[in-house]
Amino acid sequence: MNVEIKGSPSFAYLDVDLAPGESLIAEADAMATMAADLDMHARFNGGFFSGLCKKLLGGESLFINEFTNRKSENRRITLAQSNPGDVAAMQLQGNKLCLQPGAFIACSPKVKLGLQWAGFVSGISREGFFRLSAGGEGMLWFGAYGGLIEKVIDGEYIVDTAHLVAYEPQLKLKLQMAGGIFSSFFGGEGLVTRIEGNGKVWIQTRSVPGLVGWLNPKLF
């Protein structure tokens, strides 16, 4: 499988060349264009129950698509996420990565997608009560609204709510006020997420709630 991320950082998309016999798992509706003789097959995201949980609780789709090349030559498929923004790739080798709702785009077939309880803190901080966790072995692609900042955390780090995209599972999330009571409520930051531990996080430079908050007062 040969994958290229193009159009970064504003409108990143994935050009995937599948060799004969290879497959790719992709989020529902992520396909933009593909060779006509690729096989597309929709299946539950995990089993039926787990898929349903992912849809209702994790903000992911009930179904995912599996694209398989059954021809004797390479075939191309192009994938994009719904939000304009950057895409990151990660190689999983038994380690896990937690993804925020909607971040998942595609993975190679041996990657396992599961749902985990993320905790009340995550829910209240608008990051979702549940989180998608990707494990197993293979490549994983996920995306964000805006650019992506990759950050290695050693100790503590603070991220504004709705800006967290992905993080390694050993990190702990806590909710807190950005500053004192006054600066938290009048400084425009409100609540923030405090991340503790050692590991990597991915942060998006824009947030959909931020855009919505800017648009809404202009609609009448």
Partner 1 sequence: MNVEFIHRPGNAAARLTLAENESVVAEGGAMISMSDNIEITTSTQQKAKGGFIKGLKRALVGESFFLNHFKALQPDAEVIVSTTLSGDMTTLELEGNRIIVQSGSFVACEESVDMDLGWQGFKSLFSKEGLFWLNLSGAGRVVINSFGAIYPIAVNGEYIVDTGHIVAFDETLNFQLSKAGKSWVSSILGGEGLVCRFNGTGTVWCQSHNITAFGRSLGPQLKPIKS
Task: List residues near partner 1 by CB under 8 A.
Answer: 6-7, 9-11, 13, 15, 27-29, 31-42, 61-65, 78, 80-84, 102, 208-209, 211-212, 215-216, 219-220
Please give the Cα distance from 153 to 213 (Å, whole number): 29
Quick one: 58 or 102, whose CB is closer to partner 1? 102
Whether the Cβ atoms of residue 191 and residue 184 lie closer than 8 Å to each other: yes
Query: Least distance from C-beta 124 to partner 1, angstroms?
Result: 17
Query: Least distance from C-beta 41 to partner 1, angstroms?
Result: 6
Quick one: 55 or 194, whose CB is closer to partner 1? 55
Query: Least distance from C-beta 36 to partner 1, angstroms?
Result: 3
Quick one: 35 or 121, whose CB is closer to partner 1? 35
Structure-token pair, residue 42: 């929709």
Q: For strands 75-79 and 104-107, give the pairing.
A: unpaired
Whether the Cβ atoms of residue 68 and residue 38 lie closer than 8 Å to each other: yes
Q: How would you list the strands of the sheet with 13-18, edge to edge?
A: 2-6, 13-18, 75-79
Dump the DSSP string for 99-149: E-TT-EEEE-TTEEEEEEE--HHHHHTTS-SEEEEEEEEEEEEEE-SB-EE
Quick one: 73 or 156, whose CB is closer to partner 1? 73
Quick one: 16 or 92, whose CB is closer to partner 1? 16
Query: Least distance from C-beta 38 to partner 1, angstroms?
Result: 8
Query: Least distance from C-beta 136 to partner 1, angstroms?
Result: 22
Please give the Cα distance from 145 to 79 (Å, whole number): 15
